Amino acid sequence: MNYKKIAEKLGVDFNDESLLKQAFTHRSYLNENRGSNLQHNERLEFLGDAVMELATTDYLYRSFPNKTEGDLTALRASLVNTQTISNVANELGLNEYLLLSKGEAKDRGRARQYILANTFESIIGAIYLDQGYERAKLFIYQNLMSRLEEILTQGSWIDAKSKLQEIVQEKLGITPTYKTIKEEGPDHDKKFTVALFYGEKEINIGQGKSKQEAEQSVAQKVLLEEAASSK
């Protein structure tokens, strides 16, 4: 893999290129390549997620002084959900540099979306370790904040749960329900995974730092998918 090429595309001149390679290394790859002397990217993802959360929150707080905490939470959920981040990762061409097991490499569905989103967060973690917070923040602003105008124009961030409920009740005559399927991390740094159901059918899942944020995230994701399919 020519990681100098992807580094150029990312616009980051890494001092330690091994951090970038680690950011692309999925745990499954190491299971099939135990003698590679590589490390998987989960720790970098953990770090990058926190850096992205801070940078995004700070940007929204300063940019929208009149919005409520609830509005800022909904905006942040629209920016940092799996679908948005995986779309950015795809556009950056991260997919072709992933180090995956043979099985994971064949999967192009939802699992790949999560891997791409996690890789994007891992790259943020790698930049942070290599060059500090300000450089990582610049990378986030350059690649993620460009989505904000579209989100604001569509109004899709506005109480996504209520908006989705109206649509589903009108189309299907049922009310969407939400179920917390995973809760990870210590009390000061929780990550919730919530599944959205139409009746007994699971539609999609979302994540957030609170159950409310995770519910907004998955509702927003489904709204975006509905909008894309109707075009």
Domain ranges of the chain: 3-154, 160-229
pLDDT over 70 at 81, yes or no = yes
* Catalytic-role residue among 8, 17, 45, 49: 49
Catalytic residue flag (residue 53): no
Q: What is the mean pLDDT of the chain?
A: 88
- Fold type of domain 3-154: Ribonuclease iii, N-terminal Endonuclease Domain; Chain A (1.10.1520)
One DSSP character per residue, the chain reads: --HHHHHHHHT---S-HHHHHHHTB-HHHHHH-TTS----SHHHHHHHHHHHHHHHHHHHHHH-TTS-HHHHHHHHHHHHSHHHHHHHHHHTTGGGG-B--HHHHH--SHHHHHHHHHHHHHHHHHHHHHH-HHHHHHHHHHHHGGGHHHHHHHTTTTTHHHHHHHHHHHHHS---EEEEEEEES-GGG-EEEEEEEETTEEEEEEEESSHHHHHHHHHHHHHHHHHHHT-
Q: What is the mean pLDDT of residues 42-54?
A: 95
pLDDT over 80 at 172, yes or no = yes
pLDDT over 70 at 142, yes or no = yes
Tens of pLDDT, residues 110-123: 678 888 999 999 99
pLDDT (0 to 100) of residue 114: 84
- 41: confidence class by pLDDT, cuts 50, 70, 90: very high
Q: Quote the tokens at residue 207.
A: 């994540």
Catalytic residue flag (residue 49): yes
Class at the top of the CATH hierarchy for domain 160-229: alpha beta
* Catalytic-role residue among 45, 121, 130, 213: 121
pLDDT (0 to 100) of residue 55: 97
pLDDT (0 to 100) of residue 185: 80
